[in-house]
Chains A and B, each alone.
Chain A
Amino acid sequence: MSVRHALLAFLSEGPKYGLQLRQEFEESTGEVWPLNVGQVYTTLQRLERDGLIESDDGEDETGPQKVFRITEPGRTELDQWLSTPPDMTQPPRDELVIKVLSALRVPGVSVHDIIQVHRRYLVELMQQWTRLKEDEADFDLTFALVGDAEVFRLDSVVRWLDAADSRLKRAALEAPSAKPAPLIRRRLVTRR
């Protein structure tokens, strides 16, 4: 996530102080992404340098404070960022995929056992996130959205492991004497 654009989003609601922005950033990420004050001010300086925000001297209960506000170019930049999909054309270099592919090559190693070790670990992590949702009285919308994102991400990996497990089992039944297929026969073509 871009700290730069998140700060622009908060400023689109109205002028704000730096400390207030840090607090809102942490709240908006379900507080799973702490941000230090230095990071906030460095980013604000860069945004001001680029003409996307401007500042005035103001004052709050703690004394003199700079008040930041978004500019028109800042609004345009924010609108463009919100509607531009993140680049997902390149598959990430996934360590787990590489481990499973490698396990296929190692004599004496059961790839199904390796898959299970990772499956258990992921389900345990999912249990931890789900526990946080258990108490409805403690419901917090931002936290629920961040928690859902994490559970769905972990779930997609478990699904891949389940599919890999079944696919390998089926392949072993269909061709018990066949040599293992070359690990990578095709490559994804990037469209950009």
Chain B
Amino acid sequence: MSFLELKDVSKSYGTGAAEVQALCAVNLSVAQGSLVAIMGPSGSGKSTLLTIAGSLEEPTTGEVLIDGRALSSMSRNDKARLRRRTVGYVFQDFNLLAGLTAVENVALPLELDGVASRHATRTAGALLADLGLGGRGGHYPDELSGGERQRVAIARAIVGDRSLLLADEPSGALDSLNGEAVMRLILRACRSGVTAVVVTHDAQLASWADRVVFIRDGRIVDQTVPPPTPESLLEDLPARGR
């Protein structure tokens, strides 16, 4: 069953001669618990696709459905609640609040949603520990490495059982092993039921996805077929001894 669906979504900015078509009749369906990468160059429309999928922007035409509900049928309050409770965002530059510690950053979405501070802090601390950052909760963002900051940002995006994770170039300027750690966390979240869409120009990042969708000039032009399971692949290679 698809958790996120874009139906014939188009988006244009400006009017007349200055009109720019950012997305053109995009159809995309993302199954619950799967990780889909949208791969394309700068200016291909991939970030616009992500902001529309996350209800941060409205499409010019077309429809977005999250968990079967059309965003166009929701009130402003409903959408705000959806953004607080269901959707988590991860950006290239982490967007952590500098004046809050790691654990306070992660607890923030819960507190904004009315969860008592003590409970929110406990939940955030447990999640950070689960992501291998148990000892770093009291540190401020500028006391953390780039890889750690992005892991905190992922924790903030999935805290409180949010079920849709939208990430824009999440490994940004990280080196390849830290980028791998970030994708491993996102994939792990998906294996526990979170649905994730990652937009990137980076094939290494995209290769972590269950499906890679290629976007060019605002249109989806192609996609990969689902990769074989690790077991079927290992049969193709000589058996690995221990």
Contacts and interface: CB of A to CB of B under 8 A. Distances in A.
> Are A and B interaction partners?
yes
Interface of A: 23, 26-27, 30-32, 34, 112, 116, 119-120, 122-124, 126-136, 140, 143, 151-152, 154-155, 158-159, 162, 165-166
Contact of A155 (B187, B204, B209): B204
B229 interface: yes
Interface string B130-148: 0000000000000000000
B14 interface: no
Contacts, number: 80
B227 A31 contact: no
A124 B214 contact: no
Interface of B: 39, 41, 180, 184, 187, 201, 203-204, 206-209, 212, 214, 216, 221-225, 227-230, 233-234, 237-241
Nearest to A34: B238
Given A123-B206, A127-B212, A132 B39 contact: no
A31 B180 contact: no
Given A127-B212, A132-B230, A162 B201 contact: yes
Contact of B207 (A30, A116, A151, A166): A151
A126 B203 contact: yes
Given A32-B238, A136-B184, A166-B41, A127 B230 contact: no
Given A128-B228, A128-B233, A162 B41 contact: yes
Given A31-B237, A32-B237, A116-B214, A127 B201 contact: no
13 contacts: A31-B238, A31-B239, A31-B241, A120-B224, A123-B203, A124-B224, A127-B207, A130-B204, A131-B229, A134-B187, A152-B204, A155-B203, A159-B203
Mostly, the A contact residues are helix
Contacts of B233: 128, 131-132
B230 A31 contact: no
Given A127-B209, A129-B207, A151-B207, A140 B240 contact: yes
A128 B227 contact: yes
A126 B204 contact: yes
A131 B230 contact: yes
A161 to B, nearest CB: 9
Contact of A135 (B212, B224, B230, B241): B230
B203 A122 contact: yes
Given A31-B240, A143-B240, A162-B201, A131 B227 contact: yes
B208 A130 contact: yes
Nearest to A135: B230
A23 B234 CA distance: 18
Contacts of B209: 127
Contacts of B203: 122-123, 126, 154-155, 158-159
Contacts of A165: 41
A119 B240 contact: no
Nearest to B177: A148
Contacts of A112: 216
